[in-house]
Structure 1
Amino acid sequence: MIQDVITRLETAAPSLAAVLSAEDIDALTKGTAPKSGTVFVMPYRERAEENPFASGKFRQLVHVQLLTALVIRRHDDTKGGGKAVSFDTRKLEIETALAGWSSDPRNKPFELVAGQAASLGNGASVYVQTWQTTRYLEN
C-alpha cells in the first residue's frame, strides 16, 4: 500500500521534489538531509476488526493509517513564516491527490485524520499528515 501511495503522489502531485518511503519520523532526522519539498510515506498503525465468519471463510477488515511527511527547508526563515506558506501550497497538492482516492476498489477511500507541523532543526521543518483507509485480510 505504501508503494501505491508513493506512485499516486508522484503522478498526481508533480510539484513535490521527491516522494520516498521511510520507516518512521525519527529516520528523517538521521542521515542525509532531504531536499526541500520531499515527501516521505510511512507506515503508522493498523487496527483490525473481528472476523465476522464463524467457520469456513476468513475475511477481516483492517483499518490502516499511513503518514505523509512533507519536509520544507529554508535557512533564511528564522520565524518559520515562509515555511508555513510552503506547507499550505504543497499540503493542498497532497490532499488533492489522496483524499477520496483508493489504491484498490475493495478498500475505503483515503481520509485525512490529522496534521501537525514540527521543526527538524537546521532550517528544516516537517508537516506530518495522518491518512486512513482500509484493507481486507482474507484467505
Structure 2
Amino acid sequence: MPAPSPSDVILFDGVCNLCNGFVQFVIRHDAAGRYRFAALQSEAGRGLLAAHGVAPAALAAEPDSVVLLSDGRFYSHSGAVLRIARGLGGLWQAAALAEVLPRAWRDAAYRFVARHRYRWFGREESCWLPTPELKARFL
C-alpha cells in the first residue's frame, strides 16, 4: 500500500477522550507528519464531510469516532483505523492482519466501542486544543 498523501485527514470526535488519545498516538508515531486532523464538530470537519457527501447527522446516527479522508475517499469504522495504522508504517502495519476478519465483525466491534466510549473513557466539554507546535497539522 502506498504511503498516505499529505492530503490524508483524520476526522475525530473532539470531545471524546478515547479519540483524543488516538490522535495523540498517531501524532507520536507519525514522524513524517503525513496525517492532518480535524474534529468532527469543527467547521473544517463539517465542511470536509459535506464535500464528501456525508451529512454530520448520519455520523450521529451511526456512532463514529474516527474517519479518514484519503485520496478523495472516505473510510470509516474499522477500515479507517486499520488504514491509519498501516499508514504509520513499522510494526503498526501488523494491524492490517485484522483485515482477514470479516468486515462485519470488525465493524461490529468498532461500533460497540464507539457506543460506549464516553462511559468508559469520558468526554470533555469542548474539543482538545493542539499545542502551538502541532497547530499546523490541525484544520
Normalising by structure 2, report the TM-score: 0.30
| Larger Rg over CA atoms | 1
Structure with bigger RCO (C-alpha 8 Å, 6+ apart): 2
Higher-helix-fraction structure: 2
What's the TM-score, normalizing by structure 1?
0.30
